[in-house]
Amino acid sequence: MNKWRKIFLSDNIIVPLVAILLGLLVGAAVMLIGGYNPIDAYRFLIKRVVGTPYDFGETIRQITPLIFTGLSVAFAFRSGLFNIGADGQVLIGMTASTAVALSWSGLPSWLLVPLSVIAGGLAGGLWASIAGYLKAKRGINEVITTIMLNWTALYFSNYVIRHFYLLKGQNRSEDIGASATMTFLGSTFSNARVHWGTVIALLAAVFFFVYLWKTKQGYEMRAVGLNSKAAEYAGMNVGTNVVKAMFISGVFAGLAGTFEVIGVFHYQSVFAASPGYGFDGIAVALLGMNHPFGVVLSAILYGVLTYGSAGMSFGAGVPPELIKIVIGSIIFFIAAQGIVRFVLKPFYLKRKKEKVM
């Protein structure tokens, strides 16, 4: 009992919870200033999420790509890298899985679905490896290369769809047949677009934890991330670990795109601008403090707030953009932990006195 009490009262749990509470309070204050009722707004937000089986299923669908992209950014960060290119890796994953699903549409479902998933994940990983290779061999900062690769991925994906898979008269690809879809439990959630990618996202979080904290390769990646010079002195291959870390990070992002195509929309659009999945993943990773299970929880919070914002808009008349203020405030308090610790200072002093007594 004391062990679990100690874990619950640790900074790793308390600080994020207080940051979330402060973010919600800031959002409530902004609503009051704007003349809206924050209690009604948050009530309608929750009602939108859990009010019907369909909405609950769609909330799960909204959460799934956030888990993948959050894991992508967090994995790179734990390895000493900052992957801003998750958005491009999502697009490349989408394109590869679309290409496989449409090119080999005659294959049976049990073969086509895994092939599409593998193609999307590998494509995202290989795309991220470009930035990893340039970092390892040429010392080029991965922030610069991943940003540039985002634009390259956008134009390359659009080119592939337009020239090989475009549906005539439409700004999207042909429909991916039922043999390549991954939706399930549709009747349970009133035909919401829930898909197997959610299960795989949770398994990916478990893989992240086991690989990075329970294996020799994971130990080396974390060592390189903490101090590359010391890791090199200890005999670790820094360049190989950098490329490997970016590859795994890209696989997570590629899977996000894969499941959006074959699990949700069943086609790929020609995008006028970046879809933004990867940038949301940066926020999710920061909110989850770059821990895989923290990422899952932060993705749930982010997805609930994002999907529920429509309820605030229709039910309480609150502009949905206000939810961005709430999310931004939470991330601010996570980043500025000194403020949170200042708020918690009386609580810590009280605990210290109890221990002395």
SS3 assignment for the chain? CHHHHHHHCCHHHHHHHHHHHHHHHHHHHHHHHCCCCHHHHHHHHHHHHHCCHHHHHHHHHHHHHHHHHHHHHHHHHHCCCCCCCHHHHHHHHHHHHHHHHHHCCCCCHHHHHHHHHHHHHHHHHHHHHHHHHHHHHHCCCHHHHHHHHHHHHHHHHHHHHHHHHECCCCCEECCCCHHHCCECCCCCCCCCCCECHHHHHHHHHHHHHHHHHHCHHHHHHHHHHHCHHHHHHCCCCHHHHHHHHHHHHHHHHHHHHHHHHHHHHCCCECCCCCCCHHHHHHHHHHHCCCCHHHHHHHHHHHHHHHHHHHHHHHHHCCCCCHHHHHHHHHHHHHHCHHHHHHHHHHHHHHHHHHHHC
Whether 8 has a pLDDT exceeding 50, the answer reads no
Query: pLDDT band for position 106 (50/70/90)?
Result: confident
Q: Where are the domains of the chain?
A: 37-317
Query: pLDDT band for position 121 (50/70/90)?
Result: very high
Whether 341 has a pLDDT exceeding 80, the answer reads no
Task: State the pLDDT at residue 179.
Answer: 65
Q: What are the tens digits of pLDDT across the range 188-236?
A: 777 888 889 999 999 999 999 999 999 999 999 999 888 888 988 888 8
Is the model's pTM score more than 0.85? yes
Q: What are the tens digits of pLDDT across the range 212-222?
A: 999 999 999 99
Whether 7 has a pLDDT exceeding 50, the answer reads no
Q: What are the tens digits of pLDDT across the range 130-189?
A: 999 999 999 999 999 999 999 999 999 999 999 999 998 899 999 988 666 677 766 677
Whether 77 has a pLDDT exceeding 60, the answer reads yes
